[in-house]
Structure 1
Amino acid sequence: MAIIRVAMQSDLTGIIKLFKELRPHDPDVSHDALMSGWKVIEHDENNHLMVAELDGEIASTCQLAIVPTLTNGVRPFAVIEHVITGALFRRRGLSEKVIEAAVELAWQQGCYKVMLLSGETRTAAHGVYEKVGFISGTERGFVIKNPHLDKN
């Protein structure tokens, strides 16, 4: 049975392994850079990496960012990104479980909505998001990427 929880520093190796499956062309980063990035996330009460641990391995993850705002009764909104389940662990509902945990954490923090972006052609993933309760077609997402960085 999978354990769904907020990530700990000891989970980083497994999380990075999953991210390499999701984004194989991302540049490798030094251990120091990784630890620096982890410390920012770990100490930010509005940023959470959720994981599914199965048989001692990190099998699935997603990242939840809670954004304070002055609208909607000064209630924050949330964004979920980087949803990935390792190839060996797919078709077990683990992505759904980490997303559900992230959404529940957002509700506990008083968020009025949770947004999730997904690649246009990732139709299998879209089915997972809809199964969890996300609805497409109610708002429209737009993305601009930094032209000064790699095109990944």
Structure 2
Amino acid sequence: MGALEIRAAVAADVPAIVEMLADDPLGAQRESPDDLTPYLTALERLSSDPNQHVIVAVREGRVVGTLQLTVIPGLSRKGATRSLIEGVRVHADERGNGLGTELMEWAVAESRRQNCQLVQLTSDNARPDAHRFYERLGFTASHVGFKLQL
């Protein structure tokens, strides 16, 4: 395997990112790879916010992984800053090679660099393999999450 580069996502990466987001039963229901306009608009907005980090993993010129890291200043926990990891995806032909671990290690290291005291993430109940992966990395299932669709 060639060397891996982890860097900020750019507009040219959006088709590959959306393809990975849509590459499972849940993503296939909520993503629209045929119209990249909303994704490009979102990436532009995210890229202008210093607390948002959309990154890609690139191997041999090809985007093979992605995640979004959000840094959240807060009042609770004595004014602690936390980070939130979302949208972790690894291309199907790269799974099982440690790329997901490398992406998560990047996110935790960046969280430390940004003086976060806590790293959190959510994972859909329908993703037990992902839950085992996060637990292997030291994350604990500590809360029940709720969402309100708007």
**Taking structure 1 as the reference length, what is the TM-score of the superposition?**
0.84
Q: What pairs up with 1:80-119 in 2 under 5 angstroms?
A: 80-119=85-124
Tell me which amino acid in the other structure corresponds to 2:30: D
**C-alpha distance in structure 1 between counterparts of 2:105 and 2:119, whole Å:** 11
Does the 8 Å CA contact 1:117/1:141 hold for their aligned counterparts? no
**What CA deviation, in whole Å up to 9, does each residue of 1:79-127 have, x standing for no partner?**
1111111111111111111111111111111111011111224222122
Of the two structures, which has the highest relative contact order with CA contacts closer than 8 Å and spacing of 6 or more? 1
| Partner-residue secondary structure (3-state), 1:145 | coil
**What CA deviation, in whole Å up to 9, does each residue of 1:9-68 have, x standing for no partner?**
322121111111140122527444332211111011111112211221111111111111
**C-alpha distance in structure 2 between counterparts of 1:94 and 1:19, whole Å:** 16
Structure 1 residues not aligned, in runs of 5+: none
| Partner-residue secondary structure (3-state), 1:96 | helix
- Percent identity, aligned pairs only? 26
Does the 8 Å CA contact 1:50/1:101 hold for their aligned counterparts? no
4+ runs deviating over 4 angstroms: none
> Residue 3 of structure 1 aligns with which residue?
5
Structure 2 residues not aligned, in runs of 5+: none
| Partner-residue secondary structure (3-state), 1:130 | helix
> Residue 46 of structure 1 aligns with which residue?
51
Distance of aligned partners of 1:141 and 1:107 in 2 relative to their CA distance in 1, 3 Å threshold:
farther
**Taking structure 2 as the reference length, what is the TM-score of the superposition?**
0.85
What is the aligned counterpart of 1:21 among 14, 20, 23? 23
> Residue 145 of structure 1 aligns with which residue?
148
* Aligned-residue RMSD, C-alpha: 1.8
Tell me which amino acid in the other structure corresponds to 1:24: A
